[in-house]
Structure 1
Amino acid sequence: MEFGIFTIGDVTTDPTDGTTVSENQRIKNTVEIAKKAEEVGLDVFATGQHHNPPFVAPANPPILLANIAAQTEKLELSTATTLITTTDPVRIAEDYSYAQHLSDGRISLIMGRGNTGPVYPWFGKDIRAGIPLAVENYNLLYRLWREKNLDWEGKFRTPLGGFTVTPTPLDEVPPFVWHGSIRSPEIAEQAAYYGDGFFHNNIFWPTSHTARMVQLYRQRYEYYGHGTASQAIVGLGGQVFMRKNSQDAVREFRPYFDNAPVYGHGPSLEDFSTQTPLTVGSPQQVIERTLSFREWAGDYQRQLFLIDHAGLPQKTVLEQLDLLGEEVIPVLREEFAKGRPADVPDAPTHESLVIRHREGRDPIPGGGEGSRAFEDRQARAAEAAQNATQEGANRS
């Protein structure tokens, strides 16, 4: 199981002293946070993708990820959101392949639709077509990474004729893709269809909703024949703020929570902590809350925490990383490993994906022979043929 952090890159005024870091400093701070994550023993650093204030998470994440790759050795570099709806799939294919080569395979992506309405028309898209855009664009991206001299035509993009991505993916194996969604079952279905991972960034939603989404993905993953439901590749988000003493954590974090982008000036800290995975308290409380995720999500592969937003000072964020690395993650690793069935896979790595590819075990989109999905397609085809025969007989 892999553990890490993700950033949304907000530039927010510190409500305790009125200071606001510059965009330049926030960007430099983000790089420092990623390097610190590797130093304290975390596995993953992920960045969002934004095109609007108050966020300076990159509009083109591979720029940041490549910079961090040059300054780290083992850290998996991921997006927390790659905007599959408003970013050209050709650019995604090219840019992330390039970053994959620069990082020696330490790149993965979490696809997302994005929920900032004005962004869609800025890129000539309609937010009402968010799901069809995500479906069509990912299908194109999937093929771009696996086919040469591709001829393609769809609804939302200029046709392609004889197109080949350069550079091609490292070792002919594309970066691993997670499909991220908060509320759309169609995206859980898409992840299962391709045999990809499903990431639910559940920082804004109650456990009951997240559990239903994860269960749907697991069921459909098995339906398409990629493995059993328990072998589906699941990732979860989370949000934490810690101090040695839980009362100190609540007192210190409250003004940041109350003024945070998105959920500030809404529910109380206490209500939000009850209704969502937000955990403000001691390291032990974070450990216990995170371990409880397995009760409703099953054994899963990736856990990412948000720790650096709402105007928190850089010194405080680095202290959070120390607490994660020294007191929280070692215990989580040990406890999550206990009772984990041997057939539950680890989080995919470039090395494991290369082996899978060379052994001919890549997932077949829509389900291969032997899957229930394949059997259902065969049954529908036979029924359609029978109906056509009957209609022909009736006409004659």
Structure 2
Amino acid sequence: MRSSVIVVIWIICYVIVVITSLVEGLICYECWNAKNDEDCRRKGKVRLCEKSQTACQTTERVDYAWGPITKITKNCKQARACQNNFRQNKRKRNNSQCRYFKNQSVCRCCCIDDLCNFDSDTCTGVTDAKLLRENSPKCPKIRRLRNGVVSCDRNNNPGSNCRFRCKKFHDLHGPGMLRCEMDKLEATWSDKMPCCSKPCPPHGNMDLVFAVDSSIESEENWEKIKELLKDLITTFLVGPRESRIGIVTYNEKVGADSEIFLNSYNSTMQLASAVNTLRSHPGPTRGTRIGQLLDHVNRVSFLKSNGNRRRYRDILVMLTTGAPLKEKLDPKTTAKLLRDNGIDVVTVGVGSYVDMKQLRGTAGFKKRLIEIPGGAQTIGESKFKDRIINIICGETCERR
């Protein structure tokens, strides 16, 4: 009884192996009438063969009467057909097709491993198929998927499919599968590497700083801006292992004395209550110096001593309502310094006094610019809050 069970298990394993090999298929280089192997790899591509094609064939045609002129063709082939072609290389009675330096020569060879027709030398048995696979172009190695699992059927070789799966309570952001594809002489993955993270919101896994323009004159409008801040903050979980959020106000000067740092509060409700203490400061000029603010954020707000953490995405959401003032620091250049340091800059222009051209340069990307032309009176509309959240959560896989 025990021996029969073992036999059944072996039969099942054999069937699984056979089915798997049929589903995956063989991978061959494919090119037509190339001048040489390098020309073939440059113009050709990697082909996933059909199930019936279990061999890679290389055909080398040489016309010695006119040069010599060489034409190399590589493709998938049925094993029996390829074997029959190979037998014609050396036939009896001087009828061989593969005859070097004899006017015209047609040499064919077959192999049965992935990418084994990488080099035409395979026809003469000079190059080992395993060595060819080792020296063939490869995609960059897939790094470990944090909070997830990666499985690749052919490692990082051309034709390999890598599938990604996240652990429990985590969402996959990005493609569920990447394929290693050949582009001329280079092998590249079909898309960017995905990542796994908890749902955003409420989990942001970020260090987020809000920079709020306090030059607004109307106290009523200032309260609306604070309400938007509290709505955004309460959307996320705040804590040492969750998101950290800081707030800095500015006008013609930065309100450094009243700044709320990333590590000032460790709960969502405490931080939301602290928003009520923020005061507007229109100032004598009722304008803003954005370059000065960005310089402060770069030097102070994202310091490690003020709560910034490694492996968490750094984001600055800058909300401005006032007209720009003349200043020494160029906002566009200073914003680029932030991005170079790994800090994403999102700009929100409120009202008609703001310089949208300047804000476009500050944001760096069109998708990170939000315009609220109706002013602070309309800032409480849910569509603006949703757009800010979508930008914050929409690039989850981008880390420093």
TM-score (norm 2): 0.29
Q: Which has the higher strand share?
A: 2
Tell me which of the two structures has the higher relative contact order, counting C-alpha pairs closer than 8 angstroms and 6 or more residues apart: 1
So what's the TM-score if we normalise by structure 1?
0.29
Which one has a bigger Cα radius of gyration? 2
The structure in which a higher percent of residues are helix is 1
